[in-house]
Amino acid sequence: MRHWCVLLTTLIAAPTSAWGDGLPLRPPKNGGVYVVAHRGAHNGIPENSLAAYQKAIDLGCDFIEIDLRTTKDGKFVSMHNREIDAYIEGATGLVAEFTLAELRALDIGKRVAPEWEGTRIPTFEEILDLCKGKIGIYLDLKSGPIEELAELIEERGMEHDVLWYISSGRVKKLREVCPECIAMPDPGAEKGLPRLLERVKPRVVAAVWRHYSPSFVEKCHAAGAIVIVDESDPDCWEDAVAWGSDGVQTDHPEAFIEFLKQRAGSASE
């Protein structure tokens, strides 16, 4: 989910929160707003790599956004595009056409910089193990069976550490197989939000900036949900925070954290 500012409504577990009661999420680390590193902190680092995810941890982000796909032999890997073409020099094809072993033999770092040569496509299990106890996961499920993914999460006791960006139609299945897991559907245009809030009753809502507004946030909060936004550029940060957004997904997590710190400092003066 990209190219637009997307607000992710996130619930704060603090008991003083009028709309976050009962959501078992850690409070934001920076200025009261969740920082979601899109594809990890990948400036100068291969995106959707363990290195990019580790960088986000080091920066103090609250969540990493990962894109999850299924290999030919039913394994789960993190890669945004359906094809490998944009990531691998001299190789083409769909992720779903390769086995895990074949994908792991490919180098996703060489195209970025010489120092990243040898970087491999990470599995979902590796990502979970890296992030456990350190950072949350914003799971953009491109393809894969919910049951098997939920099992991997439950094995590690990470049900409250993963936000599932899935369609509203798949929320019921997620709740059946993993009642403690946190779904985060996106209504699309704001006109679809009341129906989503009434029928699905999500605790976290995702939205894209072109569909976003102060009233979008107000409706979510009134229904007991929180919101996270995926920005297209830093120009939307001021509005996103001013409108009461609970989280922002960004390609510039380090700069956004600094923005939040400066904003908090100005407010306290």
Hey, is 124 helix, strand or coil? helix
The DSSP string of 207-224 is EEGGG--HHHHHHHHHTT
- Long-range contacts from 77-85, C-beta under 8 angstroms, 24+ separation: 77/103, 77/121, 77/122, 77/123, 77/124, 78/48, 78/121, 78/122, 78/123, 78/124, 78/127, 79/48, 79/121, 80/2, 80/39, 80/47, 80/48, 80/142, 82/142
Q: Are 140 and 66 in contact (CB under 8 A)?
A: yes
Q: Which residue numbers are catalytic?
A: 38, 80
Residues across the chain: 269
